[in-house]
Structure 1
Amino acid sequence: MNKQVIVRDLGNKDYKETWDYQEMLFEEIVAQKRANRTNEVSNPTSNYFLLVEHPHVYTLGKSGHIENLLIDEAALKSKGATFYKINRGGDITYHGPGQVVGYPILDLDNFFTDIHKYLRFLEEVIIRTLADYGLKGERSEGETGVWLEVGTPFARKICAMGVRSSRWVTMHGFALNVNTDLGYFDNIIPCGIRGKAVTSLNLELAKEKVEEALVKERILKHFEELFEATLVRE
């Protein structure tokens, strides 16, 4: 099993370009797995962890409802935002500046073949990262992602998650609100869940700006520990 994970920070990159890049890496891994089944000698499959920040964009998962996008095409354009229907699980969410987005493209045969466990591990990476900042991140039963003050009238989501998996290869991932303009969430029913707020790290810490580079480092540290991976930064 190859537990080496190649880390690539893509900086600020268009959503569709990044999606296409994910698909390319995903197909590369799947093709290697197919070849390994027919070749006498198997070659190890690669694992990747992409970090990125997107311009304003709304994405709707394959099980989502278009009614949860509350603005029309003209309003999207006026706000400088784009919209895509995509092939991850989950409903609608927002990505934009000030968000740390992570896309692990892993062959789970190198780690463990359990999607439920995989999602819980991703949540735990974020929960531990929030703990580094003195915040208690929590899971909300039946709602993937990471929340604060679950079970209270003040419950609010700080990290959305949605993944795709085929042949135990993953893509898509999580979006942690760090210095995010939360006003963009007013244009959707986030994740299709009514009546619950969203929040960000800088809002919770009452800071004008939280250093995103440091947040990324903490995420990678906890990912490396939980997945027992060896990170290779490119």
Structure 2
Amino acid sequence: MKRCLEVWKIGTVNYVEALKLQEKLASDRKALKITDTLLSLQHPPTYTVGKRETVRNLLIPDSELKSMGAELHYTQRGGDITFHGPHQAILYPIISLRDIGLGARKYVEKLELTMIELASLYGVKAQAGQKCETGVWVEHKKIGAIGVRISSGITSHGLAFNMDPDLNYFKHIIPCGIVDKDVTSLKKEADVELPAEEVIQEQLITCFVKSFGYNNVLLKDHYADT
């Protein structure tokens, strides 16, 4: 069976802009106007809070965020507070779970597998978190975050994998609401020299395609084509 995926590589995009694009694509996917679509991007420094609005896990006042050049946004995804920023590979899948016969739990497991596979390419042993610990971990340090939204069987939001972000940004939050756990990156954990970030983001896409069993992939390079 032919499983089609369109991949949009859109570079560094403001969080709000990416959110609007996801909403439009999710609506189009629901109306069967488009096929499954994957957005591959990075964000400027941004803290996001999930629908439970656990802003108490932000440890500094809003005014300090501005001086750091970071933004704070409330979203409708699941999960707790997290950070997005430069040198972090982000994937937002806009896909129909019904079409590929997946429930929410299996979907999240496949997102975890995508990041675990990527880490393994660099000799880094990552695994899914324990109960109540979402995302992907290297021992007790988080290397990849997951926060998803599913509406009418269509997904949005997704995963963020730490290639080499400034980990100091994570000191200002309790990442995902889990106290006493550190955050790490591929750069810190890998014993090998990393290639250009575009290469790692490309590999993350490949791992996603493999995890979800797509066999017909169309690449679209940037916004200008939309």
The normalised TM-score by structure 1 is: 0.89
Unpaired runs of 5+ residues, structure 1, are 33-43, 150-154
Q: Alignment length, in residue pairs?
A: 218
Structure 2 distance, partners of 1:161, 1:198, is 14
Change (3 A) 1:209 1:81: farther
2:219 aligned residue: 233
1:71 aligns with 2:57: no
1:45 is displaced (CA, Å) by 5.0
1:170 is displaced (CA, Å) by 0.1
1:3 is displaced (CA, Å) by 2.1
Superposition RMSD on alpha carbons, in Å? 1.6
2:19 aligned residue: 19
Unpaired runs of 5+ residues, structure 2, are 221-226
Change (3 A) 1:175 1:184: same
Runs of 4 or more consecutive aligned structure 1 residues displaced over 6 Å after TM superposition: none
1:224 aligns with 2:209: yes
SS at match of 2:10: strand
Give matches, 1:41-190, under 5 Å. Answer: 46-142=35-131, 143-149=133-139, 155-190=140-175
SS at match of 1:144: coil
The normalised TM-score by structure 2 is: 0.92
1:211 aligns with 2:188: no
1:186 is displaced (CA, Å) by 0.6
Percentage identity across aligned positions?
A: 39
Say which one has the larger Rg.
Answer: 1
Deviations along 1:19-51, whole A, 9 cap, x unmatched?
11000001111233xxxxxxxxxxx75110001
- Worse-superposed segment, 221-230 or 122-131: 221-230
Structure 1 distance, partners of 2:135, 2:217, is 24
Structure 1 distance, partners of 2:178, 2:36, is 32
Structure 2 distance, partners of 1:224, 1:88, is 22
SS at match of 2:102: coil
Change (3 A) 1:21 1:174: same
Structure 2 distance, partners of 1:226, 1:101, is 16
SS at match of 1:118: helix
The amino acid across from 1:30 in the alignment is K
1:28 aligned residue: 28
The amino acid across from 1:197 in the alignment is D
